[in-house]
Structure 1
Amino acid sequence: MRDFGSSDDPLVQAQLDRLAKLSLPEGRIGLDAIRALLSRLGDPQTRLPPVFHVAGTNGKGSTCAFLRTMLEADGKRVHATISPHLVRYNERIRLAGALIDDSSLASLLEEVLDHAEGINPSFFEVTIAAAFLAFSRTPADACVVEVGLGGRFDATNILPSDVLAACGVAALGIDHERFLLAPEEGAPTDPLARIAFEKAGIAKRGVSLVTLSYSDAMTLEIERAAMTKGAPLAMRGRDWHSSITDTGLHYADRHGEIALPRPALLGEHQFENAALAIAMLRHQDFVTVEADALATGNGEAHWPARLQRLADGPLVRGREVWLDGGHNASAGEALARHFAEEELHLVIGMIEGKNPSAIVRPLRKSLRSITVVPVPNHPAHGPAAFGDGAASAPDVQTALDALPEDGAAVLIAGSLYLAGEVLRLNEELPD
Structure 2
Amino acid sequence: MSLHPKGFDLSLGRITRLLERLGNPQDRMPPVIHIAGTNGKGSCAAYCRALLEADGKAVHVHISPHLVRWHERYRIGRSGAPGQYVEDDVFAEAVRRVAEANGGEQITVFEILTAVMFILFSEHPADAAIVEVGLGGRFDATNVIEKPAVSVIMPIGLDHQAYLGDRIELIAMEKAGIMKPGVPVIIGFQDNEVAREVLIDTAERLGCPHAVYGQDFLAYEEHGRMAFQSDAGLMDLPLPRLSGRHQIANAAAALAAVSAAGFDISHETAERAMETVQWPARMQRLTEGPLPALLPEGSELWLDGGHNPHAAAMIAEALAGMQDRTERPLFLIAGMINTKDATGYFRAFEGMVRHVFTVPVEDSDASVDPRELAENAVAAGLTAQPMTNVEEALRLLGEGWNRLEPPPRVLIGGSLYLAGEVLRDNGTPPV
What are the Cα deviations for residues 309-345 of structure 1, in whole angstroms up to 9, with x where unaligned? 0022122204321111111111111121122224311
Deviation at 1:213, TM superposition (A): 4.1
* 3-state SS in 2 of match to 1:20: coil
> 1:373 — aligned with what?
359
Deviation at 1:291, TM superposition (A): 2.5
8 Å Cα contact 2:173-2:199 kept in structure 1:
yes
> 1:337 — aligned with what?
317
Give the stretch that moved more between structures: 408-417 or 352-361: 352-361
Give the stretch that moved more between structures: 221-230 or 325-334: 221-230
- Aligned counterparts, 1:262-341, within 5 A: 262-285=239-262, 287-317=263-293, 318=297, 319-340=299-320, 341=323
8 Å Cα contact 2:4-2:107 kept in structure 1:
yes
The one of 379, 382, 392 aligned to 2:386 = 392
In structure 2, stretches of 5+ residues that fail to align are 78-82
What are the Cα deviations for residues 363-409 of structure 1, in whole angstroms up to 9, with x where unaligned? 12121211111101333143223217411111111111011324111
1:200 is aligned to 2:200: no
1:23 is aligned to 2:5: yes
8 Å Cα contact 1:36-1:119 kept in structure 2:
no
**CA–CA distance in structure 1, aligned partners of residues 213 and 10 of structure 2:** 31
8 Å Cα contact 1:78-1:142 kept in structure 2:
yes
**CA–CA distance in structure 2, aligned partners of residues 284 and 260 of structure 1:** 21
> 2:80 — aligned with what?
none
Question: Which ranges of 4 or more aligned residues in structure 1 deviate by more than 6 Å?
Answer: none
8 Å Cα contact 1:20-1:123 kept in structure 2:
no
Percent identity between matched residues is: 39
* 3-state SS in 1 of match to 2:33: strand
8 Å Cα contact 1:66-1:298 kept in structure 2:
yes
> 2:98 — aligned with what?
112
1:54 is aligned to 2:35: yes
Q: Which amino acid aligns with 1:302?
A: Q
C-alpha RMSD of the superposition: 1.6
In structure 1, stretches of 5+ residues that fail to align are 1-18, 183-190
**CA–CA distance in structure 1, aligned partners of residues 395 and 301 of structure 2:** 12
* 3-state SS in 2 of match to 1:124: helix
What are the Cα deviations for residues 129-150 of structure 1, in whole angstroms up to 9, with x where unaligned? 1011011111111100001101
- TM-aligned CA distance change 1:25 to 1:86, over 3 Å: closer
> 2:419 — aligned with what?
419
TM-score (norm: length of structure 2): 0.90
**CA–CA distance in structure 2, aligned partners of residues 127 and 233 of structure 1:** 30
**CA–CA distance in structure 1, aligned partners of residues 69 and 7 of structure 2:** 26
**CA–CA distance in structure 1, aligned partners of residues 246 and 232 of structure 2:** 24
8 Å Cα contact 2:228-2:236 kept in structure 1:
yes
> 1:5 — aligned with what?
none
Q: Which amino acid aligns with 1:209?
A: V
The one of 256, 260, 265 aligned to 2:237 = 260
1:171 is aligned to 2:155: yes
* 3-state SS in 1 of match to 2:142: helix
The one of 104, 126, 134 aligned to 1:148 = 134
TM-score (norm: length of structure 1): 0.90
